[in-house]
Structure 1
Amino acid sequence: MFVQASILALLTGSACAGTTIWSGSFNPFPNVSVFDEWSWADEVGTYQWYIHGTQPTSHYLALSPKYKNPADTAETNGLMVTIDSTATWNSNMERTELIPQTTQNLGTGNLFYHFSLSTDPTGLNAPDSTLEHQILFFESHFTEIKYGVAPNPTNLQWMVTSQFQWGTPLVPGTWYNFAYDIDFSGQTVGLWFSTGGSPLTKVANNVAASTSTNSEDFHVGVLRIVNTPAPENWYISGVYIENGPITTAIGNGNSTGSGTTTIPTTTPTTTPTTTPTTTSPSSTPTGPTVPEYGQCGGTGYTGPTTCASPYTCKAISPPYYYQCL
């Protein structure tokens, strides 16, 4: 079964803009009991499964089409990851995480680590914004998504070595698509992002980081710092790693971008608000203007809203993100 899945992953990768060097697709897993086939004595499959609590696997993992981004047509199921007071492993922190099982070198050259995140659209078992969460991270935490931390606890925030770089509000039921743009040779990392089925765009330029991995320390899951009884459910789909140029389309393997796109070095910021801010370009700028690829509007955005000529402010992932193009 896993051999067939590996062949399928390679064939799928050949149709993408880049080359998929490791597929974290959940298609090879008809049910969550298959994750239990992996052990240190028998390292089968595409994921290591050992960072979790004492309950059965079905307590922490679930597979269903409703847990995947509907735009990802390559996936049959998405994964629901659950953490609660039983989900402790080697600490008092709650964590449920999968890790790549592979002989492929996942830490060389310029690679793109893709994944999509969401939560239950009804708000059931919603994440607690008063507690720190570390999501889809490396062991050294040189890049990760965090939730429940400053400067905006209700935002999903991209951190590099625990330093805030970019964020967006977490809205139940919205799918957030990410790709870590990691240059292992140049020791830098950037971020690509979109929502729903929109193509990825580069929202944060590469910054210096101590990029490193042993190819088996990318944590596909969630760590909650404080132990508390309240259960939380996170949805994950579209996990794969590719060489550039990046595949920007969600789910269908067609690329509309390249791995060499650059954006301004100004840091996008967000502040939670209930009213999205949209903008339209002005023909007579009276204040600061936003350069090409800069953020010019979106939920909580408080910066300049007029694009430098000849660019216009366009909806990339409305209502959350607008960009000068």
Structure 2
Amino acid sequence: MIGASALALTSLLFGLAQAGTVVWTGDFDYYTSPNDLNNWSWSNEVGEYQYYIHGSENVTSYIAFDPSYRNPGISGESNGLKLSIDQTSTWNSAFWRTELIPQTTANLGTGQMYYHFSLSHSTVNTPNTAYEHQVLFFESHFTEMKIGVGTNGSQLSWCIQSTPQLTFDWTPGVWYNFAYDIDFTAGTVGLWGSTGSNPLVRLAANSAASTSTNSEDWHVGVLAFDVGTFTEDWYISGVYIESGTLTTSLLSGGLTVGGSPVGSTGSTTTTSTSSKATTTTTTTSTSSTRATTTTTSTTTSKASTTTTTTASTSTSTATQTEYGQCGGIGWTGPTVCASPYVCTYGNAYYSQCLPA
């Protein structure tokens, strides 16, 4: 059964100003209990999510909604999701998996899209990093998050075509906020991110990828190669998809303008990209740091985008010198390097100006 208060809140919020156009929202306030997910079927496609990838136990063994499961830094959402996997949660394979799929008639794979979500875990039923986990992934795996891979499996990795590009310390109790920056026309994907309640900043420039979706294959959940008798709990919040321009503030459904990308104030912006993954680009109203990823591809791809200003902006004209910091979570200084240097990604919290 759908909560009337949630529907009323959604109607109210959609009347507010917003940066991008929200094409689908996975707000967990839509449901009054996990059992509401059982109302969905292939012959009765109702609700916000398709629920069919799960184990043999009751839905309450794998899904729970509660205010304590949300990122408290996100506005407009009362409940978060606790998603669990264990040895009973196998589906069509030996993999442990519990996943929700967007239920919508909207086209989620056209033009410029931003796929928003926040992830966390605790010290109780913590994910086992000894095994590979595929998290918030597309069926083709053109982009996804992973743990249990690479040289340090305890870190959270952002991947393109299953290959890690960036890694993040995966600390219990910390909320990690992300937006997949997907240009389905140009065939590129990049990443924005932050922690806690901080606004999103660009972490990686768009790189070539085989971007595609049938609008029913983004898996809001976890597929794990686990073996054993333990249980894992994952916490997910702030899930929605918007088109056009990026909302950098943290909110559910992208329904309020706020936050600022690196290098500007009071604006929400999508920047154009026509570059290798190691270059820095700027627009006339804002500047956006382009971070080096671990990919060695030199494919040049051009994205068709626009810049929308929702409030007065003040563009930073300062440039950073060689070896100076030029980006990272929480960084408010210069984001453009003096020629001929390029802002080069070091980690989520630090990028610096290095020779091109």
Deviations along 1:41-84, one digit per CA (max 9) or x if unpaired, are: 11111100000000000000011111000011211100000000
Deviations along 1:116-164, one digit per CA (max 9) or x if unpaired, are: 00012xx000011111000000000000000011032111110000111
For 2:230, the aligned partner's letter is A
1:263–1:89 CA distance, 2 compared to 1 (3 A): same
User: Which residue among 259, 267, 273 is the counterpart of 2:293?
Assistant: 267
1:290–1:142 CA distance, 2 compared to 1 (3 A): farther
Q: What is aligned with 2:86?
A: 84
Q: What is aligned with 1:128?
A: 128
In 1, the alpha carbon distance for the partners of 2:180 and 2:136 equals: 10
Q: What is aligned with 2:260?
A: 256
Q: What is aligned with 2:107?
A: 105
Is 1:322 matched up with 2:317?
A: no
Q: What is aligned with 1:26?
A: 28
In 2, the alpha carbon distance for the partners of 1:20 and 1:67 equals: 23
Q: What is aligned with 1:73?
A: 75
1:309–1:235 CA distance, 2 compared to 1 (3 A): same
1:202–1:154 CA distance, 2 compared to 1 (3 A): same
Per-residue deviation, 1:241? 0.2
Question: Equivalent residue of 1:27, what SS?
Answer: helix
In 1, the alpha carbon distance for the partners of 2:4 and 2:323 equals: 53
In 2, the alpha carbon distance for the partners of 1:10 and 1:188 equals: 33
Per-residue deviation, 1:267? 2.3
Deviations along 1:9-59, one digit per CA (max 9) or x if unpaired, are: 465355221111100001111111111111111111110000000000000
Q: What is aligned with 1:221?
A: 221
Per-residue deviation, 1:294? 6.7
In 2, the alpha carbon distance for the partners of 1:42 and 1:295 equals: 43
Deviations along 1:162-218, one digit per CA (max 9) or x if unpaired, are: 111111111000000000000000000000000000000000010000000000100
User: Which residue among 22, 35, 38 is the counterpart of 2:37?
Assistant: 35
Contact 2:6 2:30 in 1 (8 A): yes
In 2, the alpha carbon distance for the partners of 1:97 and 1:85 equals: 15
Q: What is aligned with 2:58?
A: 56
In 2, the alpha carbon distance for the partners of 1:294 and 1:29 equals: 36
In 2, the alpha carbon distance for the partners of 1:86 and 1:11 equals: 40
Contact 1:268 1:295 in 2 (8 A): no
* Percentage of pairs with the same residue: 48
Contact 1:264 1:291 in 2 (8 A): no
- TM-score, normalising length: structure 1: 0.82
Contact 1:204 1:268 in 2 (8 A): no
1:308–1:206 CA distance, 2 compared to 1 (3 A): closer
1:113–1:34 CA distance, 2 compared to 1 (3 A): same
Contact 2:113 2:183 in 1 (8 A): yes
For 2:159, the aligned partner's letter is M
Contact 2:50 2:102 in 1 (8 A): yes
In 1, the alpha carbon distance for the partners of 2:260 and 2:154 equals: 31
Q: What is aligned with 2:203?
A: 203
Contact 1:137 1:143 in 2 (8 A): yes
Contact 1:289 1:308 in 2 (8 A): no
In 1, the alpha carbon distance for the partners of 2:37 and 2:71 equals: 21
In 1, the alpha carbon distance for the partners of 2:330 and 2:293 equals: 12
CA RMSD of aligned residues (A): 2.9
Q: Where in structure 1 are there 5+ consecutive unaligned residues?
A: 270-283, 298-306, 311-318
For 2:201, the aligned partner's letter is T
Is 1:289 matched up with 2:300?
A: no
Q: Where in structure 2 are there 5+ consecutive unaligned residues?
A: 262-268, 272-286, 296-319, 340-346
Contact 1:17 1:245 in 2 (8 A): yes
Correspondence list, 1:136-155, <5 A:
136-155=136-155
Which portions of structure 1, spanning 4 or more consecutive aligned residues, are displaced by more than 6 angstroms? 294-297
Pairs aligned (count) = 291
- TM-score, normalising length: structure 2: 0.75
In 2, the alpha carbon distance for the partners of 1:291 and 1:9 equals: 41
Deviations along 1:95-118, one digit per CA (max 9) or x if unpaired, are: 000000100000000000000000
Question: Equivalent residue of 1:289, what SS?
Answer: coil
Q: What is aligned with 1:233?
A: 233
Per-residue deviation, 1:254? 1.8
